[in-house]
Structure 1
Amino acid sequence: MEKRVVITGLGICAPNGTSIPQFEKALRTGKSGITFHPQLKELNFSCQIGGKPSISEEKLSEYFTPLQRRGLNSSGIVYGVVSGTDAFIDAGLEIAENASPDWDTGIIFGTGILGVDKFREAIHLIDAGKTRRLGSTSVIQTMASGISAYLGGILGCGNQVTTNSSACTTGTEALLMGYERIKAGKAKRMLVGSCGDHGPYIWGGFDAMRILPGNYNDNPEEASRPMSAKASGFVPGSGAGALILEDLESALERGAKIYAEVLGGEVNSGGQRGEGSMTAANNEAVQRCITGALINSSISAAEIDSINGHLTATSKDSVEIENWVKALHLENDFPYINSLKGMTGHCLSASGSIECVASVLQLDKGFIFPNINCEEIHPDILDLISEERIPRKTIEKPINILAKASFGFGDVNAVVIFKKYNYVC
């Protein structure tokens, strides 16, 4: 018998909040975490702004031992460990301290490019003939699965511990992978999420592609403008989000707080055919992903109360809205839709998980956060849906079902359906 899967823990390390209470407050008030980065100006970047979580040295010492911190030079691992550990604690789980791991709990924690600063440090040492000065952690900080390895050791997880990587779809895909494992009865709990490094060596390629805004360096908080007529490109970001998924039976036995239920979802690819390419989505694939998520979740389009879109603040925003309209067939009764990227920028491989945390908070607390920097909605979008469906102020409103989407480079897609958990069902 297939297991029902619920969410019992949340952790966040976002540009506009590094704890769940702080992040929720930022969502409700529309607070931006995008700032000016002097280093990017020194390196002649066109876009000199970005979203970067603020982690104090004092806070770092709460998550890493002095030995673990020695030579630690990967912001993605830091963000992932902070958010992952917080989600574990938030779920009321105890870190395995004895010789035996927790065989029922696993990890799927994704990333894109990990440990670039450590790579750079290693390259300089190797080229200088100083290989022995690399230190013992250079490999674990630069291998893709370094984040899940760090978390697995810190938390003592004995079920599947692995890493996925699917560009901007990574975090949402990780959640669905963990969901499927629990649903099949192969684990009781899975820590899922994703992380991403910050800085010029991550963001430089996007600046070279001329898809980042270069005209907001003096007012960074206004730069990321999803669905706006004045959108001029996405702002790069970084961070991590984490969620504890759990078998409903296990959660009830523990008396755990249940934030929401995962009804199902869909992952697919457009094969870089048709309109699809390495950097653009195949629209038919996006629509199939949306409808597949509805079928797999056993719901109708009319039951969706709100959508948290991918919506990156580029010319593709109106195309995404058109895909939602065609897939849902709800031109006259379209759900509310919002994008977190106005507040955080596009956190790349971390975006899906950070936005999933934001989606779950809206369900749990009964509100819809605003689309900031969207005073003037793009006219192509207004040809598709009504202006009222794009809230510019926080709406205090109970939500029952929310759809979350992520679409990534490589023409890959993921949509997950969350539902407010009903304790009497």
Structure 2
Amino acid sequence: MRRRVVITGMGVCAPNGIGLTDFAEAMALGKSGIRFQPELKELGFGCQIAAKPELNDELLTQYFTPLQLRGLSATGIMYGVIAGTDAWKDAGLTIAEKEQPNWDSGIIFGSGTLGVDKFREAIYQIDDKNVRRLGSTSVIQTMASGVSAYLGGILGCGNQVTTNSSACTTGTEGVLMGYERIASGQAERMLVGSCSDSGPYVWAGFDAMRILPRNYNENPEEASRPMSASAAGFVPGSGAGALVLESLESAQARGAKIYAEILGGSVNSGGQRGDGTMTAPNSEAVQRCISQAVAHAGIQNNDIDTINGHLTATSKDGLEIANWSAALNRSGSDFPYINSFKGLFGHCLSAAGSIECVAALLQFKKSQLFGNVNCTDIHPEITEIISPDRIPQKTILHQPTILAKASFGFGDVNACVIFKRFND
């Protein structure tokens, strides 16, 4: 018999807010974290704006020991440890004693590229024949599972501790991986999340592909325009989001607060067949992913009242709306409310799904639907399918009951998770 799984803790390190309180306020007010980056101008980037959390030494010392900070340059690890540690504390959980790990708690914390700056440093040290100067942390900073390894040691988790990586789908996929482990009885709680490094060595490839907005360097807050007719490409971002998933029995036994329940979901790939490519989704696969998520959750299409889409502010936004409409067999005013958060903090790549899950779940707590900024000119391809009032531009009062959150990533990979308001 499968167990019910709920969310009991959340943490976030986002470009527009670090910590749940600041992040929730920024989301409700439409505060942007997209800024001009002088470094990108100096390097000759066409798009000279990006979104990254603003860290400082005082903040970092609250999460890392002086020894851990020595030589630490992997921003993704910094973001992930902040978000993950905060989620653990938000859930009211304690750190395991030094003598023995917590066998019932595990971690699935994803990443895309990790420790890129450390790789660059290593290349120069090796070329200069200064290998010994790399330091003892170069390996953990550059291995994909470095972030989960850091968190596993900090929290003392003794269940599965691992890292997943599936491009922009990483965070949402990780939620479903953690859900499955608890639902099947293999763990009581799982810290799930994802992170992405900051900096030109991560963002340069996208600038070279000319898929970033180049005409907004002087007004960065208006650059990311999901579902807009004037959308000119996604703004690169970074950060981390984290959620503590827990069996309902465990959460209730310790009197934990509950943000929402996970009903189920689906993960698939379009195989880069049909209209799917390395960078474009196979529409049939997207629709199947959504439909299978609904079926796995044990609900009907018309039960969904809220959608948080992937919606990156590219030419594919209209296609995504068409796929949602086809999968749910809903259109016009019957279509659920839908929003994209990338107008406020850009596309955070491998961290996107987890940060957006945190924001989506905050809407349950706040009884709000966060607005779609920079979407005054909804693309006509979209208004042909759904009514404009389904895409509120500012935050409105709205109590989600069942929310679908999806992510679609490079490599033609998809994930959709169904969240439900917890009321029993």
Deviation at 1:365, TM superposition (A): 1.9
Deviation at 1:253, TM superposition (A): 0.3
What pairs with 1:44-123 in structure 2 (closer than 5 Å)? 44-123=44-123
Deviation at 1:422, TM superposition (A): 1.1
Which residue of the partner structure matches residue 351 of structure 1?
352
**Preserved CA contact (<8 Å) 1:196 1:239:** yes
Which residue of the partner structure matches residue 147 of structure 2?
147
User: How far, CA to CA, are the matches of 1:397 and 1:162 in structure 2?
Assistant: 36
User: How far, CA to CA, are the matches of 1:381 and 1:398 in structure 2?
Assistant: 24
User: Which AA in structure 1 matches 2:144?
Assistant: A
What pairs with 1:127-206 in structure 2 (closer than 5 Å)? 127-206=127-206
User: Which AA in structure 1 matches 2:406?
Assistant: A
- The alignment partner of 1:64 has SS state of coil
Which residue of the partner structure matches residue 327 of structure 1?
327
User: How far, CA to CA, are the matches of 2:143 and 2:294 in structure 1?
Assistant: 36
What pairs with 1:398-417 in structure 2 (closer than 5 Å)? 398-417=399-418
User: Which AA in structure 2 matches 1:179?
Assistant: Y
Which residue of the partner structure matches residue 265 of structure 2?
265
Deviation at 1:366, TM superposition (A): 1.1
Listed one character per residue, the Cα deviations across residues 3-29 of structure 1 (whole Å, up to 9, x for unaligned) are 100000000000001010111101111
**Preserved CA contact (<8 Å) 1:9 1:91:** yes
Deviation at 1:364, TM superposition (A): 2.1
Which residue of the partner structure matches residue 383 of structure 1?
384
What is the root-mean-square deviation in Å for CA atoms of aligned residues?
A: 0.5
Listed one character per residue, the Cα deviations across residues 380-408 of structure 1 (whole Å, up to 9, x for unaligned) are 11111000000011111111110000000
User: How far, CA to CA, are the matches of 1:305 and 1:55 in structure 2?
Assistant: 36
**Preserved CA contact (<8 Å) 1:167 1:408:** yes
User: Which AA in structure 1 matches 2:410?
Assistant: F
What pairs with 1:36-51 in structure 2 (closer than 5 Å)? 36-51=36-51
User: Which AA in structure 1 matches 2:96?
Assistant: A
Gaps of 5+ in 1: none
Give runs of ≥4 in structure 1 deviating > 3 Å. none
| Range with bigger deviation, 357-366 or 196-205 | 357-366
**Preserved CA contact (<8 Å) 1:364 1:420:** no
Listed one character per residue, the Cα deviations across residues 326-361 of structure 1 (whole Å, up to 9, x for unaligned) are 000111400000000000000000000000001111
Listed one character per residue, the Cα deviations across residues 85-123 of structure 1 (whole Å, up to 9, x for unaligned) are 000000000001331000000000000000000000011
What pairs with 1:237-386 in structure 2 (closer than 5 Å)? 237-332=237-332, 333-386=334-387
User: How far, CA to CA, are the matches of 1:398 and 1:241 in structure 2?
Assistant: 22
Aligned length: 423
Gaps of 5+ in 2: none
User: Which AA in structure 1 matches 2:376?
Assistant: E
User: How far, CA to CA, are the matches of 2:263 and 2:17 in structure 1?
Assistant: 27
Which residue of the partner structure matches residue 6 of structure 2?
6
Which residue of the partner structure matches residue 20 of structure 2?
20
- The alignment partner of 2:292 has SS state of helix
